[in-house]
Amino acid sequence: MKTLLYLSYGKGPHELEVIYSVYSARHCSPNNDNLRILIYTDHPDSFSSVPADVEFISTQQWNEWGGPQNFNHRRKILALQHAISNVVAPVILIDGDTWWRGPVDSAFERIRAGRTLMHIREGSIAEIKGKRIGELRSLVREHRFRLTDGSAIAIPANCQMWNAGVIGLHPTDAGLLNDVIALTDELCNRSNLHILEQFAFSYLLQMHTVVLTMR
């Protein structure tokens, strides 16, 4: 069954964003019995009336997913890895502040073995303007990074960046997540930028798959 995955950690307005997004997905996919909406949360009571499956994630698990640097967005990678390990169909991880305006199936139809999904392409890190991307450019220019097989990689300046508000993956390509985790941890050892998991996803998915966008 195709799975749409949300994360909600802690209490706050973000819980309402997730609820709104879930209802927008249901509204755009009425009578879709082949769609599972799954929420990972440490406060399941907040979603007791929401048309979704709710799975409790303990504080210990959230902390482990945060990794050695307690990087919040690293949890997205581990949650996606956890969810996709139990299914034989694509999983889309979507940020809670994103909502649906069209059929959810149209997004899942783009995902297959060797074809992944992210939100929109932002451009190459050599071209995107802004202080954060400038810091990222310096980081990848000055360092090589090790993946899970021990290989050291040099990331080119023309590497493309995609927005990670949507990440869709086929189970066949789930093994890439180990390298996404490894690269994110390597980047976190050298920087506190909050876009590091986004860059790790972007680099590794474009190297090993065709990355498609929501539009």
Return d(Cα 14, Cα 20) in angstroms, integer: 10
SS3 187: helix
Q: How far apart are CA 92 and CA 115, in angstroms?
A: 13
CA-to-CA distance for 51 and 56, rounded, in angstroms? 16
Q: How confident is the model at residue 69 (pLDDT cuts 50, 70, 90)?
A: very high
Q: What's the pTM?
A: 0.95
Beta-sheet strand order (sheet of 53-56): 53-56, 35-41, 2-8, 91-94, 166-169, 115-118, 210-213
pLDDT of residue 215: 74
Domain with 88, as residue range(s), is 2-213
The sign of the dihedral angle between the CA atoms of 114, 34, 79, 117 is positive
Residue type, 194: H
Write down the mean pLDDT value for the chain.
95
Helical ranges in the chain per DSSP H? 14-28, 59-66, 74-84, 104-108, 131-142, 176-188, 196-208
Burial bucket for residue 93 (CB in 10 Å: 0-12, 13-18, 19+): buried
Alpha-carbon gap, residue 5 to 12, rounded angstroms: 19
Instruction: Name the least confident of 73-82, 143-152, 166-175.
Output: 143-152
Gap between the Cα atoms of 206 and 118, Å rounded? 11
Domain count, the chain: 1
Question: How distant is the alpha carbon of residue 115 from its chain centre?
Answer: 15
CATH code, domain carrying 14: 3.90.550.10
pLDDT for res 119: 96
What are the C-alpha distances in Å from 26 to residues 30, 47, 198? Answer: 6, 15, 27
Confidence of residue 81 (pLDDT cuts 50, 70, 90): very high
Answer yes or no: is pLDDT of 65 > 80. yes
The residues, ordered by sequence, that sit 6+ positions from 59 with a Cβ below 8 Å of its Cβ are: 42
